[in-house]
Amino acid sequence: MDRVSVVVIGAGAIGLAIAKALTAQGREVVVLERNKTFGLETSSRSNEVIHASIFHVPGSPQGVLCRRGRDLMYAYCDERGIGHRRTGKLVLANTEDDRATLEEFFRRGRANGVDDLTWLDGSQVTELEPNIRCHAALLSPSSGIMDTNGVMRNYLGDVEEAGGAVAFNAEVVEIHKEDGGFRLTVRDNGNGTTSEIACDTLVNAAGIWAPGIAEKVEGLDRKFVPKIYLAKGIFFKFQGRAPFSRLVVPSQPAWRNGGIFTLDLAGQGKFGPDEEWIDEVDYNIDERRAVGVAEAVRSYFPALPDNMLVGDYAGIRPRLNGPGEPPADWLFQGPREHGVAGLVNLFGFESPGITSSMAIAEVVSKMIDGAASPFRPAAIYGDGKTAA
């Protein structure tokens, strides 16, 4: 049975970024991924936005790490020649009543270190984007887009170049706690055979599957395994030339109903994600939802022609809050929190996780060395109690 210093479960953007950081420190790392290649779930089904950290509560995991991660991501893309562009983002107030929300976003952004936000009135917005009608907006010049697949491919290359390994079709089925570490039973999803690997430290970065992985860990009290809620969103491709050159975030409820506009590096525009809560993983696209998305888009793009939106792809975001509950932030959980030596769990990591991935890896690296999570736990656990 092979033994390594660290096993990371999950080869999405966050898992690969963690492995990249740890191998750069000289640690022997193996990444185990249940799918046939990297990033096939949450990471490859995002809108590929580099977020600036406007919307997140100052001092929170998302607020702190998105701002740090933004700078790291732009620098990494520049260094590696990975496709990216600072498109800028317009955050809209459709009416005077929506302006208070923008003022809160402005306050949060400034507190998070986003110092380039600019106020625009409706006419100034229309000068920049003639198809938009709104009352006011915040312009975020440092928001942008990236080639997410290219980022993950480079992370993987960094891991392998530093001596780490990534095993695909490798699903963890048992996790035994032993003196000095863990013993994992791994099933090869290609041929059905099983094998074992031992490690000193285990990082659970399995995304939507993270609670299931945590439940397999011998010695971990189940009160530390939170319930994950699945928020599914469909992205709809705009058929024709992109109507805007910048990213656009409308007021609520259009925001949650699919009204966000993004574009990719090839110039293809899309709207979404819309949002629905689901009980099981399902990436099917319901084209009928395009009607509601079009209605949301027309709240600021009234000239949207009929039948211009077609389903493109769906993504699922793992959240620690359910329908009607206040938004929950990410949960870093290490030995100082749950008492199991050598185990780090990551729960509820959704957007802006890719933007923040290298900053998240910095936190995990310190936790592996014995530090407590730098953030106060805010997740509600399965027994309905907030863990201390």
Nearest one of 16, 105, 142, 64 to 356, comparing CA atoms: 64
Q: What is the mean pLDDT of residues 108-127?
A: 98
| Selection from 324, 323, 375 nearest residue 347 by Cα | 375
Domain boundaries, the chain: 2-45+149-225+328-368, 87-144+229-319
From the list 347, 353, 351, the residue with the least C-alpha distance to 205 is 347
Q: Which CATH architecture has domain 87-144+229-319?
A: 2-Layer Sandwich (3.30)
d(CA 385, CA 261) in angstroms, rounded, equals 38
pLDDT at 1 (0 to 100): 75
Nearest to 1 by CA among 257, 163, 183: 183
Q: For residue 321, count other CB atoms closer than 10 A to its CB.
A: 17
Dihedral sign (CA 30, 32, 37, 38): negative
Q: What is the pTM of this model?
A: 0.95
- 377 pLDDT tier (thresholds 50, 70, 90): low
Residue 378 has pLDDT above 60, yes or no: no
pLDDT digits (tens, 9 = 90+) for 338-362: 999 999 999 999 999 999 999 999 9
Average pLDDT over residues 169-193: 96
**Position 388 pLDDT exceeds 50:** no
Total Cβ atoms within 10 A of residue 277: 12
pLDDT at residue 151, rounded to an integer: 99
Provide the token pair at 250: 């409308």
> pLDDT category, 262, cuts 50, 70, 90?
very high
Looking from the CA of 197 toward its CB, the CA atoms found within 13 Å total 24
Per-residue pLDDT band at 189 (split at 50, 70, 90):
very high
Q: Residue 90 corresponds to which tokens in the numbers above?
A: 């317009």
The DSSP bridge partners found for residue 318 are 230
Q: How confident is the model at residue 370 (pLDDT cuts 50, 70, 90)?
A: confident
Residue 273 CA, distance from chain mean position? 13
In the beta sheet, which residues pair with residue 181?
178
Query: What distance in Å separates the CA atoms of residue 51 and residue 67, rounded to the nearest whole number?
Result: 8
pLDDT: which is higher, 369 or 302: 302
- For position 379, what pLDDT does the model report? 39
What would the mean pLDDT of 135-159 be, rounded to a whole number?
Answer: 98
Q: In this prediction, what percent of the chain has a pLDDT beyond 70?
A: 97
Q: Which CATH class is domain 2-45+149-225+328-368?
A: alpha beta
- DSSP 3-state of 21: helix
Q: Which of 203, 194, 198, 206 is nearest to 182 (CA)?
A: 198
Q: What is the mean pLDDT of the chain?
A: 95
Asked whether residue 385 carries a pLDDT value surpassing 80, the answer given is: no
* pLDDT at residue 376 in the model: 73
Assess whether pLDDT exceeds 70 at residue 180: yes
Residue 153 has pLDDT above 70, yes or no: yes
Alpha-carbon torsion, ordered 160, 165, 167, 172, to 10 deg? -140
Mean pLDDT of 213-223: 97
Please check whether residue 205 is in contact with residue 346, taking contact to mean a CB–CB distance below 8 angstroms. yes
Q: How confident is the model at residue 148 (pLDDT cuts 50, 70, 90)?
A: very high
* pLDDT tops 70 at residue 96: yes
Condensed to tens digits (0 to 9), the pLDDT of residues 30-82 reads 999 999 999 999 999 999 999 999 999 999 999 999 999 999 999 999 999 99
> Other C-beta atoms within 10 Å of 295: how many?
14
List the alpha helices (DSSP H) in the chain: 13-24, 61-80, 99-111, 122-128, 148-161, 210-215, 290-297, 335-338, 357-368
Tell me: pLDDT of 115 over 60. Answer: yes
> Positive or negative, the Cα torsion across 342, 345, 351, 354?
positive
